[in-house]
Amino acid sequence: MKNILVPALFSLALSASMCQLVQAQETPDLPEDYSYLTRLHVPDTVAQCVAAFDRWVENAPKYDTLIVPDRRVLSAKIDDDTAIFSVGNPIPVDKVIVMRAFAKARGKEQWTRVDSRCGVRDGHVVGVSLTPNMKPKIVR
């Protein structure tokens, strides 16, 4: 009886650990600061992009702060047809997420509207970019 019990326990423990490994690979963990986005039913890739933008801006030479309003996160455009991130940065991607945000340049007080782009491949963010989006002035 003892000889049958040991292999059965070993196989049970092995299958349980493999199940945890598969689950860990499927759903990348978001930092706790962004967990509210899952409650708003934001797609995981969009929430990952918001977190990646925040990490990127910390070290960016041009900007020191970035805000992506919740309504912009909820209306983010997900482009599944794009094969590369951008012409200037031809990284192969599965998806490109585009959303409007607001950034503050280092040493300045004024906020600038920016278009944020995020490239995702195999569920991981592989590229981010911010492009100023100036509101056109109306001349009368």
Domain coordinates in residue numbering, the chain:
33-132
HEC states along 98-119? EEEEEEEECCCCCEEEEEEEEE
* Helix extents (H) in the chain: 2-26, 35-39, 44-59, 70-74
Q: Give pLDDT, residue 88.
A: 81
- What is the rounded CA–CA span in Å between residue 17 and residue 83? 35
Residue 46: which of 101, 115, 103, 118 has the closest Cα? Answer: 118
Residue ranges in the chain whose pLDDT is less than 70: 1-32, 135-140
pTM for the structure as a whole: 0.69
Q: Give pLDDT, residue 135.
A: 66
Q: Give pLDDT, residue 16.
A: 42
Amino acid (one-letter) located at 33: D
- What is the rounded CA–CA span in Å between residue 129 and residue 124? 15
- What is the rounded CA–CA span in Å between residue 68 and residue 28? 21
Residue 79: which of 92, 100, 98 has the closest Cα? Answer: 98
Q: What's the pLDDT tens digit per position in 38-59?
A: 888 888 899 999 999 988 988 8
Cα radius of gyration rounded to whole Å, the chain? 21
* Token pair in block for residue 102: 């607001």
Q: How far is CA 139 from CA 92, 136, in A?
A: 42, 9
Q: What's the pLDDT tens digit per position in 6-24?
A: 554 444 444 444 333 333 3
Residue 63: which of 17, 118, 106 has the closest Cα? Answer: 106
